[in-house]
């Protein structure tokens, strides 16, 4: 089923999702697997690769991010990469099996002249026969329309956490700012990639609130990346306690149940997960991963490990 076909789904409240998360583990996974099989082949995993095309120097104050200029992480800011350099990375990703190439730039919002360069990257990725995705920060409606003209398939803009906890993590832009960008993307008829991060000190209610907020968007995101915080030295969240693996699996199951036709992606934090935890995530309805050793600036699972895990589980990449 194409990712662009998303049916109307009921709105989910924070209490609704909390009730799902409180189910006995076998019951929750059974419900999630039942929903998953109704909409997807449970043995297929969609593969994406993510490249940082402009690293560091971001003026935002996101508490988890190594690229925020105010966080003392030792990361040096770089300029926007050249188009051909990015396309060489895209060709390499395709050769390794990636179907979608995602490009991220550490901006609060892109300048129009930089956006033109990104559009050339998008056009080049599309010419390779791959799906394209970018994450560039906040967009104006005309900028979203320009990306659509270039052929962009997906725009990533995460909600990060629940509306109630958001201010504990970020103060330089509001939740409504994020929603406005998502609306501009939708109005431009670009698919939405939108998820969040867990393990940032939020409680179970806030995790339920994140899933509820995602599932209650006017249309659920076509792709939902669920990230486990990678604690980076020098950020305000450097000493955050990691989320329990089984609690993470529960969130994956809740995302699958509440957004039945969305691709649910295991994203940041996968490098630290055991094979068993990842297998439970796939059983709970995750059907997409980021492939490659680096996610923007943090480590990711090695491709050889992923290939061995897929072979053991009998999973096929798509």
Tokens (6 digits) for 135: 């994450």
Residue pair 229/272 in contact (Cβ under 8 Å)? The answer is no
Give the H or E element holding residue 16.
helix 14-21
Separation between Cα atoms, residue 146 and residue 150, nearest integer Å: 6
Residue whose token pair is 């990636």: 98
Separation between Cα atoms, residue 315 and residue 318, nearest integer Å: 10
How many other C-beta atoms lie within 10 A of the C-beta of residue 235?
Answer: 22
Report the catalytic residues.
Answer: 58, 62, 65, 102, 133, 193, 265
Extract the runs of DSSP E, i.e. beta strands, from 153-200: 154-156, 191-193, 196-198
DSSP string of 20-80, one letter each residue:
HHTS-HHHHHHHHHHHHHHHS-TTEEEEEEEEEEE-S-B----TT-TTBTTS-S-PPP-PP
3-state secondary structure of 207: helix
Residue whose token pair is 């690769």: 49
CA distances 73 to 66, 149, 250, Å, are 6, 37, 32
Residue pair 286/314 in contact (Cβ under 8 Å)? The answer is no
Residue pair 156/181 in contact (Cβ under 8 Å)? The answer is no
């Amino acid at each position: 089923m194409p990712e662009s076909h998303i049916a109307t789904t009921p709105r989910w409240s924070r209490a609704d999702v909390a009730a799902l998360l409180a189910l006995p583990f076998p019951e929750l996974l059974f419900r999630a697997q039942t929903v998953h099989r109704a909409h997807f082949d449970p043995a297929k995993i969609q593969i994406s690769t993510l490249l940082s095309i402009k690293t560091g120097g971001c003026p935002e104050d996101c508490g988890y991010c190594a690229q925020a200029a105010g966080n003392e992480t030792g990361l040096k800011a770089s300029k926007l990469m050249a188009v051909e350099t990015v396309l060489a990375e895209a060709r390499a990703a395709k050769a390794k099996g990636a179907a979608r190439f995602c490009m991220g730039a550490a901006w609060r919002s892109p300048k129009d002249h930089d956006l033109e360069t990104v559009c050339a990257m998008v056009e080049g990725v599309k010419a390779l026969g791959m799906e394209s995705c970018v994450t560039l920060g906040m967009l104006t409606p005309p900028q979203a329309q320009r990306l659509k003209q270039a052929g962009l398939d997906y725009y990533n803009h995460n909600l990060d956490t629940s509306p109630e906890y958001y201010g504990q993590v970020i103060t330089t832009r509001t939740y409504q700012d994020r929603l406005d960008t998502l609306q501009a993307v939708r109005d431009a008829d670009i698919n939405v990639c939108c998820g969040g991060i867990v393990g940032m000190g939020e409680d179970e209610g806030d995790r339920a609130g994140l899933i509820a907020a995602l599932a209650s968007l006017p249309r659920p995101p076509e792709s939902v990346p669920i990230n486990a915080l990678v604690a980076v030295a020098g950020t305000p969240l450097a000493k955050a306690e990691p989320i329990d693996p089984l609690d993470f699996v529960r969130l994956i199951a809740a995302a699958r149940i509440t957004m039945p036709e969305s691709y649910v992606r295991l994203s940041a934090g996968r490098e630290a997960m055991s094979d068993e935890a990842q297998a439970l995530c796939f059983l709970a309805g995750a059907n997409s991963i980021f492939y490659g050793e680096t996610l923007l600036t943090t480590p990711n699972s090695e491709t050889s490990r992923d290939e061995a895990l897929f072979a053991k589980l009998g999973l096929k990449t798509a």
